Structure 1
């Protein structure tokens, strides 16, 4: 497992570049939902290369938290600079390595940090159903005793040359609030919650009823 190696100076420099990148790559960014500024486990669907960059930007400018993110070992080796932004690896091919990564996430949360996880494990098309979550996020939440914040990421082309990005921030919940008598059942319920959020965003975008979203320029809300 590859641990994060954060650099405040690098985070600051990268945030300038990332803000420019988001503003020039998308026609508009939209956000809605409850903003949590306490340490939390953030859980989102994973359908794009952009997801990690969105997570970084949300953590820095919207949630304003010291956040870390689990990413594939292959991806972290290919882009090692993500370690300086809080990226740490998971190797799903080896159970022992998976458990090391999950326990590392627990230790970060217990230390007052926030952690991002994408329970699908790899990028899947935004329209694919079911989302098929792995149980790791529930394992982490059970041991860290922090709120889970479910998010929906949805991107779409509408009336402009560039795509638009929509973010729904769900209400925080504790693992005891997630129905199910075991980890598998709780994971299925968490997947249902995230799917419902994602489908609701999709419905609103298709119907062009996006009044509940706020425009976001990639910086502070």
Structure 2
């Protein structure tokens, strides 16, 4: 996948499992090779001590702290060596959704940055087929963002990618 090397990477991904961040951490190591950061909720951050060593930073669900954390994520995107993973849904949902919702904090992150960003859409699905262990399939798309980005435009573009990814996933046969 081609990305501009002089720009950071913002990955927007569906969130259906505790493992999502690890899948994309691995993809970063193999594909993007950037300094990995992931926005997680405070409960998981405090409960799982090693997350901070994987580049995790946490947000509380309260007023000013939320804004400060989202602005921090935006500032991380000003460094072209960084990758920031965000789950725009804000919490875990089923892997079988028809539509991915976006919390408005995604736009706060983008607006807090200098907007020199590679925006990557990621849709991950799990299937077992005839195996005892599941396989994860992640579909990536580099979204060429416009100068003006709205939450609705971003959500619509992501969901188009998500729909196309579902079609590809449904075509897998083993």
Is 2:118 aligned against 1:147? yes
Which residue is 2:88 aligned to? Answer: 119
Q: Secondary structure of 1:110's match?
A: coil
**Offset at residue 207 of structure 1 (A):** 2.6
- How far apart are the structure 1 equivalents of 2:148 and 2:153? 10
Is 2:132 aligned against 1:195? no
CA contact (8 A) 2:3 2:118 kept: no
List alignment gaps of at least 5 residues for structure 2.
none
Q: Structure 1's 160 and 35: CA in aligned 2 closer, same or farther, altered over 3 A?
A: farther
Which residue is 2:28 aligned to? Answer: 59
- How far apart are the structure 2 equivalents of 1:201 and 1:195? 9
CA contact (8 A) 1:138 1:175 kept: no
CA contact (8 A) 1:45 1:118 kept: yes
- Deviation track 1:21-59 (CA, whole Å, cap 9, x = no partner) reads xxxxxxxxxxxxx34363211111111111010121111
**Offset at residue 208 of structure 1 (A):** 2.5
Which residue is 1:204 aligned to? Answer: 168
Is 2:41 aligned against 1:72? yes
CA contact (8 A) 1:120 1:134 kept: yes
**Offset at residue 164 of structure 1 (A):** 1.8
- How far apart are the structure 2 equivalents of 1:194 and 1:174? 11
**Offset at residue 128 of structure 1 (A):** 2.1
Query: Which of 47, 72, 77 pairs up with 1:109?
Result: 77
How many residue pairs align between the two structures?
Answer: 169
Q: Structure 1's 154 and 193: CA in aligned 2 closer, same or farther, altered over 3 A?
A: farther
- How far apart are the structure 1 equivalents of 2:51 and 2:94? 23
Higher strand share: 2
List alignment gaps of at least 5 residues for structure 1.
1-33, 179-185, 211-221
CA contact (8 A) 1:150 1:170 kept: yes
Structure 1, 73-82 or 38-47: larger mean CA deviation = 38-47
Which residue is 1:159 aligned to? Answer: 130
- How far apart are the structure 2 equivalents of 1:70 and 1:175? 24
Query: Which of 48, 59, 79 pairs up with 1:90?
Result: 59
- How far apart are the structure 2 equivalents of 1:55 and 1:154? 12
Relative CO higher for 1 or 2, CA cutoff 8 Å, sep ≥ 6? Answer: 1
Is 2:14 aligned against 1:45? yes
